[in-house]
A and B are shown apart, each in its own frame.
Chain A
Amino acid sequence: MEKQQHRLAFGTLVITSKLPDTMVHFTAEEKAAVVSLWAKVNVELVGGEVLGRLLVVYPWTQRFFDNFGNLSSESAIMGNPKVKAHGKKVLTSFGNAVKHMDDLKDTFAELSELHCDKMHVDPENFKLLGNMILIVLATHFSKEFTPQVQAAWQKLTTAVANALAHRYH
């Protein structure tokens, strides 16, 4: 940690330590809970479901997908090949978070700028998507998704949402 010297108004010298910019600390147990469940996830299947549910449960999120074709009903959305493909892409990216849990801000820096500057996505949506991930995991992994496991995953999805929002301006 670097030390910095600051001179305050009355000539008082204050020495502060500059902390590394890692906002979230995951314990070993939390990391293990995330990594072990992730290993079982079918990214293509779960990704499609996660995005599909987002569009069904929070219909206003369809605003970002005007060119996806038929989103007129639950079955249309869940069966839509573009939704499935994009869901897979999103969840694959999430897999990157699992690999870089100690460095999420840097890992998602570029994606954050992209979501702000090019896609104009309200970061509130990242929280909604995170909650969809948890719910889909709960349906697929009833036994494994204990309260402790949920808590670890809740921490991760929140941290990813924050990392994705970090470069907004």
Chain B
Amino acid sequence: MVLSAAERAAVRALWTKLGTNVGVYATEALERTFLAFPTTKTYFPHLDLTPGSAQVKAHGQKVADALTRAVAHLDDLPTALWALSDLHVRQLRVDPVNFKLLGHCLLVTLARHYPGDFSPAMHASLEKFLSHVISALATSYG
């Protein structure tokens, strides 16, 4: 399931289009995840998770920055995301199933805001990209 040149180009192009809004969409994706999959909230007892919360926005920006970094390093995701993987595995100890849930909600968010760009081919490219990110995040699970 390697990303083809066309798929990489599609993901990069969409990310350029998202511009400075990546944080907004990542925050919305988080909000959707907490609502649709309440079990994910168990990892955030220290945050105010009410919709619109400044803490969720701050976390959304962190997620956005990580994803933007991933887009810039499509050729070497495991290395680029190694520190994040270590964090999620060793310190945060997140069950990897949750990464998929956030990934799905991010797709829903992007589909909602960019329906014209969200063709089946773009959808497939993004799905592949996210599954590679998730795979890289899970590297430290060994």
The answer to the question of A27 belonging to the interface, with a C-beta cut-off of 8 Å to chain B, is: no
Inside 8 A of B31's CB, which chain A residues have their CB? Answer: 147
Inside 8 A of A136's CB, which chain B residues have their CB? Answer: 111
In the complex, per-residue mask of A134-169: 1 if CB is within 8 Å of any chain B CB, else 0: 111011101001011011001100000000000000
Range class of the B interface residue count: 20 to 34
Inside 8 A of A147's CB, which chain B residues have their CB? Answer: 28, 31-32, 35-36, 51
A62 vs B124: C-alpha distance when bound (angstroms): 14
Task: Give the secondary structure class of A's interface.
Answer: helix
A131 vs B111: C-alpha distance when bound (angstroms): 12
The verdict on A53 contacting B36 (CB below 8 Å), with A142-B113, A145-B112 known, is: no
The answer to the question of A109 belonging to the interface, with a C-beta cut-off of 8 Å to chain B, is: no
By a beta-carbon cutoff of 8 Å, the part of chain B in contact with chain A is: 28, 31-32, 35-37, 51, 104-105, 107-109, 111-113, 115, 118-121, 123-124, 127
24 contacts between A and B (CB under 8 A): A56-B121, A56-B124, A74-B119, A74-B120, A74-B121, A74-B124, A77-B120, A78-B120, A135-B123, A138-B109, A138-B111, A138-B112, A139-B111, A140-B115, A142-B113, A145-B112, A147-B28, A147-B35, A150-B32, A150-B36, A150-B108, A151-B32, A151-B36, A154-B36
